[in-house]
């Protein structure tokens, strides 16, 4: 466990120290900015606006981009610079290094998700009186939980891409935004092959979203159950980390 | 004996009249062309254009009056629509095929490394110990990258235009005569904005991977945000925060088709202002960053 | 009987069409071994193969009796490796970097601290523990690299170009450290192209060139191997043409070259006898100076490679 915790701590501070989280935090606050602009223009209830418009936007854009910002460079940077050799020549199996990097970087996403959720909540509380404080807290906690669980899954995909490929950005863009957010939002059978579908299903169940207000959140004919969604997301995380361990063994450190 | 300190000094020798941005541009072109994926993307876009040309030829062979048939069918489908005419407005639709994907892909594949590699390897010190100004350096890099972007965007559109002209009846030239110049000017502005933005982001982030990530935020997330803001508030000015929308409006304006657009769009002055504003801000950021590294300031 | 430090059989690695290492078969028992070669000779490739960072295209390698493949990790409790790459954990303080490396090896926080302090002491950086790596000079980071290799008192120390960027005092201290390690019974493989400095710590060499093993063994053994190549003596003096003619007549030289009126190169396969003759000529006042290529490593390398090693 020493190896995993040591690497996790290192990975967390590597991603979270200084102003490194400023960029991802600004991305996470973009829905909050949109809320502010819309509330100035339109007499719309802030709670409905956040739940029906900003939550989908957060899942569609903010989640994959924050994961890409924080988790994609975790291993790809070390491979690029050759520094991964220092870790791989320690008396500890490589998978421990990878798990530690993954957990540490995932921990660094949590403050960003918290900011992305707290910002709109505070704005909404200040401007809306249709929803109670309890409703806001309940919605925000639900969104934060979905983002955290999604961060595990998307983060594991980013880690795998960082190890497996030499063009991580392009692959992450295709997988997370293309096959993820876009395919998960288009109606049809392809939805169920996208992680985004299961995130939407959780959002339906936990956030009380009842229908689609934007094209980013197509109404689902059938919504996956909570156990099924959680199983898929956690299983994806575990599977991607297993693939990462295999890929790390196959990839030469040059 | 005193040692002379080894420092980079301003060049005092004789200078040639050859513009110094040319070797920078040619080196950048060579570097870009050496990447097989950049070559593949460039060929892909030209191939797509060529495919449309072939389709025009085939339609012409099968039914020489196919244009009239399509126009008639279009006007029957929608009364508001004046039919499906291949005029300058048709070329606006090609932007969605050639500009949206290829500008993004080429920027992710090649644009991010224009300056990043020089920053990473401290090559700036080597560059600016030669008689080259930051402006020449920037101009050389930008010209080369704009060249690639224009090849992938303007190139196939011009292929299609030539095919359209070749396989059309007399008089069709009047419908599409303004396309080459109009498209060239608007796409040149648009590609220059992208080239400058990518380099500005690199100057700020100093990293290729961060450049790509910020670029994705700007081009993907902000575009989505613009569409959402417009959808909720019905204020079409919000569409102007999307680069691709501004490119579309700028092209429509240069082709004189702005009034003919049925979909909501930002105003032309706003679109142009956003594009030019982005270019100016990016240029300032780059020049400030380069001057700090050039030791000539 | 303990296993040899290194054993490899037909070890090869290609990078596409480029040959990084070709058919290396060698056994190293112990001691200090200089792994020498110019840039691109395969030194770093061999180091990476020894540490399981890359896959071999062919052949195998054993270190301290254990077969090495990518993913092997237990052996690193007995191996210390200082790579050629710079340490890119920029924001870490040097002591924190070493503690991290120790903790990954299974140490508790306290144990890791002790190991880190000891390693910093060994490389003479005890006062620099709180300095961040990105604030250090290249030479200082080189010493930190060596410190992390020494953390677990390794039996085998692999150093890839450890002297790069170091000032002369640091180089000397590093080489002293290498000697100390060897005296304790450990094995050190020192990859370098700084020939005269490696000569200062060992005469057991592996010479690589274009991925192939040129020669292996002690310098004197290598020198004997290439004795079919003539030795060269450079003589400066007067009446050199008369001297050269008489040496040729007596079959003491296989070739001679007049550089100018006062200088002559003499090639011989019998250097001792030649030197005796030249000594007589020197006593007659005909010779002003005499130089021979002795057992300099660079000379040997030049002769083997057939060109400049620089």
User: For C17-51, how does the pLDDT look when each residue is reduced to its tens digit (9 = 90+)?
Assistant: 888 999 999 999 889 999 988 888 899 999 999 99
Mean pLDDT of B62-89: 73
pLDDT for position A148 = 96
- Interchain contact A62–B (C-beta under 8 A): yes
Angle at B97 between CA B92 and CA B100, to 5 degrees: 90
A209: which DSSP letter? -
Q: Answer whether residue B6 shows pLDDT above 60.
A: no
Q: Do A94 and C73 touch (CB under 8 A)?
A: yes
CATH, residue C272: 3.30.70
Which residue in the set A81, A83, A90 is minimally distant from C105, CB to CB? A90
ipTM associated with this complex: 0.83
End-of-domain residue from the set C224, C259, C277: C224
Two tokens at B138?
Answer: 């920037």
Asked if C53's CB is within 8 angstroms of A89's CB, the reply is yes
Chain A interface includes C54 (CB < 8 A): yes
* Residue B125, pLDDT score: 77
Cβ contact, residue pair A169, B212, below 8 Å: yes
- pLDDT greater at residue C85 or residue A161: A161
The residue to which tokens 């990530």 are assigned: B213
Tell me the CATH number at C109. 3.40.50.300
Question: Is B120 near chain A, with CB under 8 Å?
Answer: no
Q: Rounded to an integer, what distance in angstroms lies between the CA atom of residue A200 and that of residue A41?
A: 28
The residues of chain A scoring below 50 in pLDDT are none
CB of B220 within 8 Å of a chain A CB? The answer is: yes
Interface contact flag, A86 C73, Cβ < 8 Å:
no
What is the spatial distance between Cα B51 and Cα B65, in angstroms, rounded to a whole number? 20
Q: Are residues C123 and C234 in the same domain?
A: no
CB C72 within 8 A of CB C52: yes
Please report residues of A whose CB lies closer than 8 A to that of B232: 38, 42, 44, 49, 53
Which comes out higher in pLDDT, residue B58 or B126? B58
If we measure between CA atoms, which residue out of C282, C283, C237 comes closest to residue C264? C237
Higher pLDDT, C96 or C88: C96
Walk across the sheet containing C66-67 and list its strands. Answer: C18-28, C6-15, C58-63, C66-67
Q: What is the mean pLDDT of residues C163-168?
A: 82
- Residue C11 maps to a domain: yes
At residue B156, does pLDDT exceed 50?
yes
pLDDT at residue number B294: 61
Task: Give contacts of A 10-49 with C, CB under 8 A.
Answer: 10, 13-14, 17-18
The answer to whether C76 faces chain A, any CB pair under 8 Å, is: yes
The more confidently predicted of residues B9 and B228 is: B228
Question: Residue range B193-222: average pLDDT?
Answer: 89
Q: Which of A23, A41, A77 sits opposite B233 (nearest CB)?
A: A41
Whether residue C310 is contained in a domain is answered as no
Give me A177's structure tokens: 């935004």
Q: Which two tokens stand for residue B91?
A: 């070329």
Q: What is the pLDDT confidence band of residue C279, given thresholds at 50, 70 and 90?
A: confident
Does a structural domain hold residue C283?
yes
In which band, very low, low, confident or very high, does the pLDDT at C309 lie, cut at 50, 70 and 90?
very low
What is the structure's pLDDT at A200?
87
Mean pLDDT of all residues in C8-16: 92
Looking at the structure, tell me whether residues C11 and C123 fall in a common domain: yes
Chain B contact for A79 (CB, 8 A cutoff): no
Q: Where are the alpha helices (DSSP H) in chain A?
A: 2-16, 22-41, 46-49, 55-57, 63-71, 73-81, 84-88, 94-127, 133-164, 168-172, 183-185, 195-207, 226-250
* Interval B274-296: pLDDT, tens: 999 999 999 999 999 888 766 44
What does the pLDDT read at residue C229? 66
pLDDT digits (tens, 9 = 90+) for C223-248: 666 666 677 888 888 888 888 888 88
The whole-number pLDDT of residue B2 equals 44
**B231 or A101: whose pLDDT is higher?**
A101
Against chain B, the chains showing at least 3 CB pairs within 8 Å are A
| Structural domain for C256, as ranges | 226-305
Sequence spans of domains, chain B? 21-294
CB contact under 8 A, C48 and A93: no
The pLDDT of residue C310 is 38
Chain B closest-CA separation from residue A54 CA (Å) = 9
Average pLDDT for C251-262: 86
Q: Which of C224, C259, C282 is the last residue of a domain?
A: C224
A91–C76: do the CB atoms touch at under 8 Å? Answer: yes
Q: Is B47 on the interface with A (CB under 8 A)?
A: no
Query: Which chain A residues are within 8 Å of C77, Cβ to Cβ?
Result: 91
Distance CA A149, CA C5 (A): 48
- When pLDDT is averaged across residues C177-182 and rounded to a whole number, the result is 90
Same domain? C137 vs C64: yes
**A92 — contact with chain C (CB < 8 Å)?**
yes
Lowest mean pLDDT among A38-47, B266-275, C183-192: A38-47
Alpha-carbon gap, residue A137 to C15, rounded angstroms:
57
A91 with C105: Cβ contact below 8 A: yes
CB contact under 8 A, B220 and A76: no
- Distance of alpha carbon B282 from alpha carbon A94, whole angstroms: 43
Interchain proximity A7–C100, CB inside 8 Å: yes
pLDDT of residue A210: 67
Residue C198 has pLDDT above 60, yes or no: yes
**pLDDT for position A219:** 60
Nearest to B233 among A42, A73, A77 (CB): A42
- Compute chain A's Rg from CA coordinates: 19
Mean pLDDT of chain B: 86
Give this prediction's pTM: 0.82
For residue C108, tell me if it sits in a domain.
Answer: yes
How many structural domains does chain A have? 1
Cβ of A85 and C53 within 8 Å?
yes
Of A76, A177, A214, the CB nearest to B228: A214
User: CB of B209 within 8 Å of any CB in chain A?
Assistant: yes
Same domain, C113 and C200: yes
Flag if A169 and B209 touch (Cβ within 8 Å).
yes
Mutate which: C64, C73, C96, vs A, most A CBs within 10 A: C73
* Selected residues 86-115 of chain B with any CB under 8 Å from a CB in chain A: 105, 108-109, 112
Q: Average pLDDT, stretch C148-175? A: 89
pLDDT the model gives residue A185: 78
Average pLDDT over residues B242-248: 92
Q: Do C70 and A252 touch (CB under 8 A)?
A: yes
pLDDT, mean of residues C260-276: 85
Asked if C88 has any chain A CB less than 8 Å from its own CB, the reply is yes
Residues of chain A contacting C91 with CB distance shorter than 8 Å: 13-14, 17-18
Residue B231 to residue A119: CA distance in whole angstroms: 22
Q: How many domains does chain C have?
A: 2
* Nearest CA distance, C152 vs chain A (angstrom): 10
Q: pLDDT value at position A223?
A: 82
Q: Is the CB of C134 inside 8 Å of chain A's CB atoms? A: no
Pick the residue of A21, A79, A82, A90 with the most C CBs within 10 A to test the interface with C by mutation. Answer: A90
A222 Cβ under 8 Å from any chain C Cβ: no
Confidence of residue B297 (pLDDT cuts 50, 70, 90): very low
Residues of chain C contacting A96 with CB distance shorter than 8 Å: 104
Chains B and C contact (Cβ–Cβ under 8 Å for 3 or more pairs):
no
Do residue C244 and residue C125 come from a single domain?
A: no
pLDDT exceeds 80 at position B82? no
For chain C, the average pLDDT equals 86
Residues of chain B contacting A41 with CB distance shorter than 8 Å:
233, 235
For residues C30 and C149, membership in a common domain is answered with: yes
CB-closest option in A57, A65, A214 to B217:
A65
Q: Does A247 touch chain C (CB under 8 A)?
A: no
User: Does residue A94 belong to the interface with chain C, where contact is any CB pair within 8 Å?
Assistant: yes
Which of A67, A173, A212, A215 is the mutation pick for testing B, counting most B CBs within 10 A?
A: A173
Q: Is the pLDDT of residue B108 over 60?
A: yes
> Hey, is the C-beta of A3 within 8 angstroms of any chain C C-beta?
yes
Number of neighbouring beta carbons within 10 Å of residue B260: 13
Residue numbers of the domain that contains A180? 2-250
Q: What is the pLDDT of residue C294?
A: 55
Contact in structure between C226 and C244 (CB atoms under 8 Å): no
Q: Identify the residue with better confidence: A214 or B90.
A: B90
The CA-based dihedral angle spanning residues B222, B224, B229, B232, taken in that order and rounded to the nearest 10 degrees: -170
Nearest-by-CA chain A residue for B210: A69
Residues C294 and C151 in one domain: no
Tell which of C224, C253, C271 closes a domain: C224
CB C21 within 8 A of CB C5: no
Q: Of A17, A87, A92, which has the smallest distance from its Cβ to C106's Cβ?
A: A92
């Amino acid at each position: 466990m020493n190896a995993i915790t040591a690497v996790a701590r290192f990975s967390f501070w590597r991603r979270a120290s200084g102003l490194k989280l400023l960029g991802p935090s600004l991305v996470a606050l973009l829905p909050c900015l949109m809320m502010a602009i819309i509330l100035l223009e339109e007499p719309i209830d802030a709670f409905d606006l956040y739940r029906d418009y900003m939550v989908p936007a957060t899942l569609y854009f903010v989640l994959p981009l924050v994961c890409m910002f924080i988790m994609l460079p975790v291993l790809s940077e070390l491979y690029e610079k050759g520094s991964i050799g220092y870790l791989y020549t320690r008396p500890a199996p490589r998978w421990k290094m990878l798990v530690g990097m993954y957990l540490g970087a995932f921990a660094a996403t949590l403050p960003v998700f918290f900011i992305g959720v707290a910002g709109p909540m505070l704005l909404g509380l200040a401007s809306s009186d249709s929803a109670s404080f309890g409703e806001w807290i309940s919605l925000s906690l639900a969104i934060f939980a979905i983002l955290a669980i999604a961060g595990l899954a998307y983060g594991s995909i980013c880690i795998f891409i960082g190890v497996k490929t030499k063009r991580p950005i392009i692959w992450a863009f295709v997988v997370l935004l293309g096959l993820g957010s876009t395919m998960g939002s288009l109606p049809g059978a392809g939805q169920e092959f996208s992680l985004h579908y299961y995130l939407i299903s959780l959002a339906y169940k936990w956030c009380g979203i009842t229908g689609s207000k934007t094209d980013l959140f197509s109404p689902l004919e059938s919504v996956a159950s909570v156990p099924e969604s959680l199983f898929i997301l956690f299983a994806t995380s575990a599977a991607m980390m297993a693939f990462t361990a295999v890929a790390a063994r196959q990839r030469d450190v040059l | 004996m005193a040692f002379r300190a080894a420092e980079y000094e301003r060049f005092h020798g004789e200078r040639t009249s050859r513009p110094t941005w040319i070797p920078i541009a040619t080196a950048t072109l060579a570097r870009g062309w050496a990447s097989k994926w950049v070559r593949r993307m460039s060929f892909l876009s030209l191939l797509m254009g060529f495919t449309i040309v072939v389709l025009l030829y085939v339609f012409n062979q099968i039914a020489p009056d196919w244009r009239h048939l399509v126009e008639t069918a279009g006007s029957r489908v929608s009364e508001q629509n004046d039919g499906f005419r291949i005029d300058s407005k048709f070329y606006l639709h090609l932007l969605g095929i050639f500009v949206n994907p290829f500008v993004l892909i080429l920027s992710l594949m090649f644009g991010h490394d224009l300056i990043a590699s020089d920053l990473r390897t401290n090559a700036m010190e080597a560059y600016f110990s030669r008689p080259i100004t930051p402006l020449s350096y920037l101009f050389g890099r930008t010209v080369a990258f704009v060249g690639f972007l224009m090849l992938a965007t303007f190139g196939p559109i011009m292929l299609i235009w030539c095919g359209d002209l070749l396989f059309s009846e007399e008089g069709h030239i009047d419908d599409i005569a303004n396309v080459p110049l109009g498209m060239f000017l608007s796409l040149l502005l648009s590609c220059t904005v992208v080239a400058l933005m990518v380099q500005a982001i690199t100057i700020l982030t100093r990293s290729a991977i961060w450049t790509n990530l910020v670029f994705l935020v700007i081009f993907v997330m902000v575009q989505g945000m613009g569409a959402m803001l417009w959808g909720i508030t019905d204020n079409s000015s919000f569409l102007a925060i999307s680069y691709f929308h501004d490119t579309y409006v700028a092209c429509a304006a240069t082709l004189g088709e702005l009034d003919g657009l049925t979909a909501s769009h930002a105003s032309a002055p706003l679109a142009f202002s956003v594009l030019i504003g982005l270019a100016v801000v990016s240029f300032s950021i780059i020049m400030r960053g380069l001057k700090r590294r050039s030791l000539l300031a | 009987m303990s296993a040899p430090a290194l054993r490899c059989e037909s070890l090869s690695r290609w990078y596409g069409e480029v040959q990084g290492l070709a058919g290396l078969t060698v056994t190293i028992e112990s001691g200090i071994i200089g792994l020498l070669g110019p840039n691109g000779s395969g030194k770093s490739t061999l180091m990476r193969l020894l540490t399981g960072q890359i896959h071999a295209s062919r052949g195998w390698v054993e270190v301290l009796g254990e077969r090495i493949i990518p993913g092997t990790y237990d052996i690193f409790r007995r191996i210390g490796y200082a790579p050629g790459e710079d340490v890119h954990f920029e924001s870490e303080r040097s002591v924190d970097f070493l503690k991290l490396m120790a903790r990954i090896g299974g140490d508790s926080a306290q144990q890791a601290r002790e190991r880190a302090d000891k390693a910093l002491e060994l490389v003479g950086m005890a006062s620099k523990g709180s300095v961040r790596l990105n604030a250090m000079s290249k030479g200082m980071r080189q010493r930190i690299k060596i410190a992390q290799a020494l953390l677990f008192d390794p039996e085998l120390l692999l150093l890839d170009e450890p002297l790069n960027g170091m000032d002369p005092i640091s180089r000397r201290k590093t080489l002293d450290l290498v000697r100390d390690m060897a005296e304790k019974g450990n094995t050190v493989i020192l990859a370098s192209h700084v020939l005269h400095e490696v000569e200062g710590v060992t005469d057991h060499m592996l010479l690589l060139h274009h991925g192939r093993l040129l020669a292996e063994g002690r310098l004197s053994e290598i020198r004997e191997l290439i004795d079919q190549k003539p030795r060269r003596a450079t003589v400066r003096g007067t009446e050199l043409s008369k001297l050269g003619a008489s040496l040729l007549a007596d079959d003491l030289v296989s070739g001679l070259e007049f550089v100018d009126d006062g200088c002559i190169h003499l090639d011989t396969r019998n250097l001792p006898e030649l030197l005796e003759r030249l000594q007589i000529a020197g006593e007659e006042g005909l010779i002003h100076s005499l130089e021979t290529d002795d057992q300099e490593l660079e000379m040997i390398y030049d002769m083997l490679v057939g060109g400049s090693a620089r």
